Amino acid sequence: MQFLLKKFYQRKAIAKPTLLYYWWRHVANGARARRARSTPGVYADTSRIVGQLVQQGIAIGPSAQFLSAEGQKALAEAAKEVLDLSRSSSVKEAVAAGGSEDRKSYLVRLVSSDQEEHSSESPLVKLAVDEKLLEIVSRYLGLWPRLHSIGAWVNFPTKSEAIKSQLWHRDPEDVKLLKAFIYLVDVDENCGPFSYIPKSHPFSANALKVPKHKDERRITDEEMQQTFPPSSWLACTGPANTMILADTLGYHRGGKPTVGTRVLITFTYTSGAPFEDRDLRIKGSPAWIKSDIQRAALS
């Protein structure tokens, strides 16, 4: 059944629930769905944020809107660690050499999304499973989420044309998912902001619209504008500590800096039965965890 789900849904956004979708939510993720239904909301403004995610596929604003007080403290600690890494001589040398070793010549990974093990005391882990953030993700997915990956990187200008994730695409990890992006520096149009096409996510009006494109996975601006005019593209600019939540089954791209850099932290949240295996592991038992939804996110 999981093979059928992957074959049917991968890199697609569905317009309405199907039998396979109901199996994914209520059988493959039955326990997580039941826990989500039986868990009351704690934070007063999560309904507004979730409503925006349901309607648009994306929500953007100051990080304080999406995090509890504990989460904001963890963000301050994580931001310092990541920014210190971004200013290190090794990163500067990697930028000068043309990027990371994984052929993404426009970024340097400060924390790799496929890093297998993180300390249980890492502020990145504490931030990723902040209770308010998890409440928002849970209410959008309709089930208790699983933290799939943690990452951080710096994007920088290149002379080449936009490539790979700088082009429009949909992500393949699950039937529905949410990704969080937190800018650690001011990001304007010149810094290659994350861009998104609202209402192209699952269960939206434009979920089934697919532009004609030559590449199997990536779509150029010229191809995209034949179906979605540039006026419908949302460029997510903002000052440091701007936070974005997006269902990246909706069309999106990373953006291509022309001046300056973009430094960010990112998390991916999926169901407990995603299409792609999770490499993430947490070393040790986090003594600071307060709730079952946090434990479920790390399990």
Ranges 3-12, 90-99, 188-197, 239-248: which has the least confidence: 90-99
Q: What integer is the mean pLDDT of 7-28?
A: 91
The reply to whether the predicted model has a pTM over 0.75 is yes
Q: What integer is the mean pLDDT of 220-242?
A: 97
Ranges 33-47, 54-68, 120-134, 271-285: which has the least confidence: 271-285
106 pLDDT tier (thresholds 50, 70, 90) = confident
Do β-strands 117-119 and 281-283 pair in parallel, antiparallel, or remain unpaired?
A: parallel
Q: Dihedral sign, CA of 73, 152, 199, 170? A: negative
d(CA 129, CA 145) in angstroms, rounded, equals 10
Q: Closest by alpha carbon to 128, among 82, 80, 180? A: 180
Q: Both tokens of residue 173?
A: 């990890």
pLDDT at residue 104 greater than cutoff 80: no
Amino acid at 98: G
pLDDT at 1: 77
pLDDT at residue 247 greater than cutoff 80: yes
Ranges 20-34, 110-124, 215-229, 265-279: which has the least confidence: 110-124
Q: Is the CB of residue 184 less than 8 Å from the CB of residue 127?
A: no
Residue 94, Ramachandran bin (φ over 0: left; ψ between -120 and 50: alpha; else beta): alpha
Q: Is the CB of residue 198 less than 8 Å from the CB of residue 299?
A: no
- DSSP, residue by residue, the chain: -HHHHHHHHTT---SS--HHHHHIIIIITHHHHHHHHHS---STTHHHHHHHHHHHSEEEEEGGGT--HHHHHHHHHHHHHHHHHHTSHHHHHHHHHTS-TTS-TTEEEEE-TT--EEETT-HHHHHHT-HHHHHHHHHHHTS--EEEEEEEEEE---SSPP-GGGSBB---S-SS-EEEEEESS-B-GGG---EE-TT-STTSTTTT-----SSSS-B-HHHHTTTS-GGG-EE--BSTTEEEEE-TTS-EE----SSS-EEEEEEEEE-SS-SS----EEES--TT--SHHHHHHH-
Percentage with pLDDT > 90 across the chain: 74
d(CA 250, CA 179) in angstroms, rounded, equals 11
- Number of Cβ atoms within 10 Å of the Cβ of 261: 17
Q: Both tokens of residue 96?
A: 């000068």
Q: Say which residue the tokens 């979605």 belong to.
A: 228
Chain segment 63-100, per-residue pLDDT in tens: 999 999 999 999 999 999 999 999 999 888 888 776 55
